[in-house]
Chains A and B, each alone.
Chain A
Amino acid sequence: MKERLVQLDVLRYNPDTDTEAHFQRYEVMCQEEWVVLDALNKVKESIDPTLNYRWSCHMAVCGSCGMMINGEPKLSCHTFLRDYPGVIRVEPLTHFPVERDLVTAPDDFMEKLKRVKPYVIAKQKKPIEEGEYKQTPAQLMKFRQYSMCINCMLCYAACPEYGLTPHFVGPAALTLAHRYNLDSRDEGRKERMEVVATKEGVWECTFVGACSEVCPAQVDPASALQQLKIVGSIDWIVEHLLPGGKP
């Protein structure tokens, strides 16, 4: 099996001892088909056990190993060393506060996710004897793509709007709002639009599209946000221009 000496420049930060973050160079022998996460694990096992980063599934499902690799938001378990011939720069996800080394605090995203109520809201719950909520394949296909989000926050790191305007609800949370709005079992669209159709919501988006470029699950958040803008605009017309529409 082909091996290669990989050089990693990893941004280190220890809140107990450092006043600011600094790069540390590691050199490890890696197999050619490894991913960046494998290289980090090798560093931790054989060179520096104090290196901190999050990971879990190693198969692009859990969404916990997001980091900046050569300046781009990536899942480190999904980023192959063979695509990076030179020194690989590894930094924590941008736009999020750094806790330690490559570990960032996701609190802001979690709070925003909660705000858009990403769950089915039914006005009346069906008694269990009536059986499950059924859905046709066509009804499922309306939102399926938007339900593939793994909450990895790469889209937040990629979004220049979120970087400039931290109160922006952001791509993943808005996409999940849209996903539940499109669900045939859901009746919570009105509640969600109170958050979505605000200035901090979808209207902060200027359709840069970076969210969709970095998404590792092909969710295409930019398309969800554009669709939300159309929904929000039609709601606005109904509320303000049609007789009987509520202000």
Chain B
Amino acid sequence: MAKSHKPVVWFPFAAGGTVIAFCMPVIVVLGFLAALGHVPSGLSYESLHAFAAHGLGRLVLLGVIALSLWSSAHRLRCTCYDFGLRADTLIATMLYVAAIVGSAATAMFLFRI
């Protein structure tokens, strides 16, 4: 039996999982703070706009969003598989295409800023 090429999709999934684990709790807490009217000065619209307009800031945001999308797509694929939905190629294609389209859209928006 030949070795699998699954690392191609698994590595970004693992990276995305790590990114989600570190970033999501922070984003949720900051979201609640902002909703309650406590926006730290560093997170004002102007400074976040400046961050997203900077080349490095764009790359960081794109990395976080694209990896998170890919990780979620792969996790959903595995969940479908665990639930016995065995049309794996179809499900995988749909989910990965959605992640790629989402990442491409993110890149487009970011580079228009």
User: Does A119 touch B at the CB level, under 8 Å?
Assistant: no
Q: Is the CB of B10 within 8 A of A201?
A: no
- Residues facing A in B1-56 (CB within 8 A) are 1-8, 10-11, 14
In the complex, A29 has a CB within 8 A of chain B: no
A198 and B78: CB pair below 8 A? no
Question: Which residues of A (140-170) have their CB < 8 Å from a CB of B?
Answer: 160-161, 164
| Residues on A with beta carbons closer than 8 Å to the beta carbon of B10 | 203, 229, 233
A-B interface pairs (CB < 8 A), number = 51
Q: Is A48 an interface residue (CB 8 A)?
A: no
B111 at the interface (CB under 8 A from A): no
CB-CB under 8 A from A235, the residues of chain B are 3
Q: How far is the CB of A72 from chain B (nearest CB, A)?
A: 18
Q: Tell me the bound Cα distance from A194 to B3 in angstroms.
A: 6
> Which interface class (under 10, 10 to 19, 20 to 34, 35 or more) fits B?
10 to 19
What residue of chain A has the Cβ atom nearest to residue B1's Cβ?
A198
Interface string of A178-213 (1 = CB under 8 A from B): 000000000000000111011111010011100000
- Closest chain-B Cβ to A194's Cβ sits at a distance in Å of 7
Interface size of A by CB at 8 A reads: 23
Instruction: Return chain A residues, CB-CB under 8 Å to B11.
Output: 233, 237
Q: 8 Å CB contacts to B: which residues of A15-38?
A: none
Answer whether residue A1 sits at the interface, using C-beta atoms and an 8 A cutoff: no
B46 to chain A, nearest CB (A): 41
**Residue in B7, B79, B81, B86 whose beta carbon sits within 8 Å of that of A236 in the complex:** B7
- How far apart are the CA atoms of A206 and B86 in the complex, in Å? 13
Contacts of B8 in A (CB 8 A): 236
Complex-state Cα separation, A198 to B3, whole angstroms: 4
Given A203-B10, A229-B10, A233-B11, decide whether A161 and B5 contact each other with a Cβ distance below 8 A: no
Partner of B7 from the list A200, A206, A208, A232 (CB cut-off 8 Å) is: A232
Residues of A35-53 contacting chain B, CB below 8 A: none
- The CA of A175 and the CA of B10, in the complex, are separated in Å by 19
Across the interface, A199 reaches (CB within 8 A) one of B4, B14, B81, B86, namely: B4
Which among B6, B79, B82, B86 has the highest number of chain A CB atoms within 10 Å? B6
Among the listed A194, A195, A207, A237, which residue makes an inter-chain contact with B78, where contact means beta carbons less than 8 Å apart? Answer: A207
**What chain A residues lie within 8 Å of B84 (beta carbons)?**
164
B82 to A208, Cβ gap below 8 A?
yes
* A200 neighbours in B (Cβ, 8 Å): 1
- 17 residue pairs of the A-B complex, CB under 8 angstroms, read A160-B82, A164-B86, A193-B3, A194-B3, A197-B3, A197-B4, A198-B2, A198-B3, A199-B6, A200-B1, A201-B4, A203-B4, A208-B82, A232-B4, A232-B7, A233-B10, A236-B8
Q: Which 10 A-B pairs have the closest CB atoms?
A: A233-B7, A206-B78, A236-B7, A203-B6, A198-B1, A203-B4, A199-B4, A197-B3, A233-B11, A198-B4
Q: Measuring CB to CB, which residues of chain B are less than 8 angstroms from any residue of chain A?
A: 1-8, 10-11, 14, 78-79, 81-82, 84, 86
* A interface list, Cβ under 8 A from B: 160-161, 164, 193-195, 197-201, 203, 206-208, 229-230, 232-233, 235-237, 239
